[in-house]
Amino acid sequence: MKRLPSLTALRSVFAVVAAVALVACGPSGDGGDEGGGATIIQNKGSDTMVNVAQVWAEEYRTVAPDVEVEVSGGGSGVGIAALIRGTVDLANASRDMKPQEMEAAEKNTGKAPQEFTVGYDALAVYVHKDNPLEEIELSRLADIYVEGGSVTRWSQLGVTIPGVSDDTIVRVSRQSSSGTYEFFRDHVLAKRDFALGSRDLNGSKEVVELVSTTPTAIGYSGMGYATDHVKMLRLASEDGGPSFEPSVENTNNRSYPLARSLHLYTLGEPEGALKTYIDWILSPAGQGIVEASGYVPLATTPSDDDSSSEHEAEAGDEHEAGDESTEH
């Protein structure tokens, strides 16, 4: 698997990019409250994205000291529900907003949600590092997790786990408010119900931690949460078909069956500090953080880079003008 650059190595790059990237100015008309002279952007949602969102917020503070981004997780459903109520500026989601959620948000706030894809993820299937299994077909994975599924023991898959007397599979899952839960249910279980008796956890990190300490466990989480104590399985879409590991390359070319987009949602078209922050996330600085966090940045072409540079220069001019006319 491709080794991703560390955040430390990228910090020098961020410093250079920040000189030409978008810099947030004062309080915006939409999406941002003033607090103690600073613009505060409320950001809530996907637990898959909470780590990268926190790094975005921390790094952006060095670029725009007068903008504070407050990040919290809880799941995609939690962030989307807050957006529908109009209590956050940004909702992070590892799934698409549903049509009924879009309608509810517009009805409640008078503004239609806008979607911004900020990166990609491979939803990885994790087992303990000592588990000899290397790959699994989606149909067999479904048989483990679905209500009425036939696979309850590792021996049914021809797997013998060293040092284990009881090979009952410990199914680790997420709570229903999670976008990861919904994505897995849609794409693995074909919208069928999960079997009862799984360990349903609040966060992506907690899933991987439990699998790492439970030899008979299996769980699913973003590939950015991988550690040396777990193994990510190769997945095959069809029985007897080729299997693919969750990697940057396989996510980009969509050969990995559980590749997915990561989104930000706003109420209406973002303006002011909120728009500038989103533009920075989409810039090389923000996308470098996506990659360093273990996810897949947006692919760019030379034409994209050219237009992005022009856009960033224009935004920088706007920020300078805003600084002249706005007091913090």
DSSP state letters, 95-134: SPPPHHHHHHHHHHHS--EEEEEEEEEEEEEEEETT----
Q: Residue 123's pLDDT is what?
A: 97
- For 280-302, the pLDDT digits (tens) are 999 999 999 999 998 999 974 33
- For 107-127, the pLDDT digits (tens) are 999 999 999 999 999 999 999
pTM (2 decimals)?
0.76
Are 108 and 149 part of one and the same domain? no
Quick check: is 1 in a domain?
Answer: no
pLDDT surpasses 90 at 15: no
CATH number at residue 251: 3.40.190.10
Provide the number of structural domains found in the chain. 2
pLDDT surpasses 90 at 4: no
For residue 19, which of 83, 64, 57 has the smallest C-alpha distance?
64
Q: For the chain, report the end-to-end CA distance as a whole number of angstroms.
A: 46
Give the residue from 259, 284, 302 where a domain finishes: 259
Are 133 and 247 part of one and the same domain? yes
Are 230 and 173 part of one and the same domain? yes
Quick check: is 2 in a domain?
Answer: no
pLDDT surpasses 90 at 82: yes
- For 100-110, the pLDDT digits (tens) are 999 999 999 99
Are 291 and 227 part of one and the same domain? no
Tokens representing residue 199 in the block: 């360990």
Are 16 and 87 part of one and the same domain? yes
Q: Which residue has the tokens 């921390």?
A: 58
Tokens representing residue 149 in the block: 């599924």
Are 268 and 307 part of one and the same domain? yes
**DSSP single-letter state for residue 215:** T
Are 158 and 235 part of one and the same domain? yes
Q: How many residues does the chain have?
A: 328
Residue 182's domain comprises: 122-259
Mean pLDDT of the chain: 85
Give the residue from 206, 239, 259 where a domain finishes: 259
Give the residue from 259, 286, 305 where a domain finishes: 259
